């Protein structure tokens, strides 16, 4: 499998025959690069800086999906309001890091009609607590109409008892998605070269992953990059999703009985 690459504009012409993701901090760069035409191999655009004026991107490229990459949700929260103009022409997702401020950022993004992806590894206890708040918002706010990953797919996986790979779900498996710098070199620290080999190494070490009921879905995602990270809080987050799936399964069963 050839990984999808996330590249700066200077490399775009180097990948004419495969889908690519343009990573840029400048909302005006797509028009400057491509003029009024949308390249056929442009899969979507990752906007890495929300401080710029989004108007040039709002008026370009009908239907190109956008990923708004937040750096610090606590300080960048107000910038999301300006990004609502982007949803007139584009499907918009906000990528929120596992950092303090996460809960408010997810709540605001959902209220603005954006989908959400959580991002990063090894959150602090404070960030895990906020992720649990965000999960509760996603599950119980009746006005929510967009998915929050990984909650959305994990909920379905628990409900249907089907497998899911967290590395792939959060677009962090370097075998599937790779970020390149301006020289065309992989940006360091994206993840282990092989997720399967990393998981086997964790099991061979005899640590916390051994016997963990969530390993089949996590694959050691939260053990990267430091394998001594404690997953106590993360396990509570998984348990919250699993409990929600159990409750939903029971509700569906009761509804089926009532119809009979």
Domain boundaries, the chain: 4-259
pLDDT at 243: 97
Question: Exposed, middle or buried by CB within 10 Å (0-12, 13-18, 19+), for 164?
Answer: middle
pLDDT at 226: 96
pLDDT at 251: 83
Measured distance CA(162)–CA(203) in Å, rounded: 22
pLDDT at 254: 81
pLDDT at 10: 95
- For residue range 116-150, what is the model confidence (pLDDT) as tens digits? 999 999 999 999 999 999 999 999 999 999 999 99
Angle separating helix axes 102-111 and 125-140, nearest 10 degrees: 20
Local mean pLDDT, 10-residue blocks, the chain (260 residues): 90 91 96 93 95 94 95 96 95 97 97 96 96 96 96 96 93 93 92 94 95 94 96 97 95 74
Give this prediction's pTM.
0.94
pLDDT at 1: 65
Which ranges in the chain belong to alpha helices (H)? 29-34, 55-58, 73-76, 79-82, 102-111, 125-140, 151-160, 166-169, 195-205, 215-218, 232-259
CA dist list (Å): 229 to 102, 143, 222, 244? 20, 36, 8, 26
- For residue range 221-251, what is the model confidence (pLDDT) as tens digits? 999 999 999 999 999 999 999 999 999 999 8
Measured distance CA(85)–CA(53) in Å, rounded: 10
């Amino acid at each position: 499998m050839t990984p999808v690459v996330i590249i700066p504009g200077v490399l775009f012409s180097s990948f004419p025959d495969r889908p690519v993701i343009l990573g840029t901090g400048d909302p005006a760069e797509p028009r400057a690069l491509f003029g009024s035409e949308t390249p056929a191999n442009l899969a979507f655009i990752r906007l890495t800086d929300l401080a710029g004026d989004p108007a040039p991107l709002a008026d370009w490229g009908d239907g190109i999906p956008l990923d708004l990459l937040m750096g610090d949700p606590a300080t960048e929260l107000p910038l999301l309001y300006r990004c609502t103009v982007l949803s007139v022409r584009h499907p918009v997702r906000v990528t929120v890091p596992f950092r303090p401020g996460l809960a408010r950022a997810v709540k605001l993004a959902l209220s603005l009609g954006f989908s959400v992806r959580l991002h990063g590894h090894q959150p602090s206890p404070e960030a895990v607590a906020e992720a649990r708040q965000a999960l509760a918002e996603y599950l119980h706010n009746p006005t929510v109409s967009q998915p929050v990953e990984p909650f959305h797919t994990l909920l379905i996986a628990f409900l249907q008892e089907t497998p899911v790979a967290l590395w792939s779900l959060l677009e962090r498996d370097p075998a599937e998605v790779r970020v390149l710098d301006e020289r065309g070199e992989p940006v360091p620290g994206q993840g282990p070269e092989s997720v399967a080999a990393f998981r086997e190494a964790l099991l061979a070490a005899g640590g916390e992953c051994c016997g963990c009921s969530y390993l089949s879905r996590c694959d050691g995602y939260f053990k990267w990059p430091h394998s001594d990270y404690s997953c106590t809080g993360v396990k509570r987050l998984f348990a919250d999703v699993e409990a929600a799936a159990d409750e939903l399964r029971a509700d569906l069963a009761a509804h089926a009985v009532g119809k009979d």
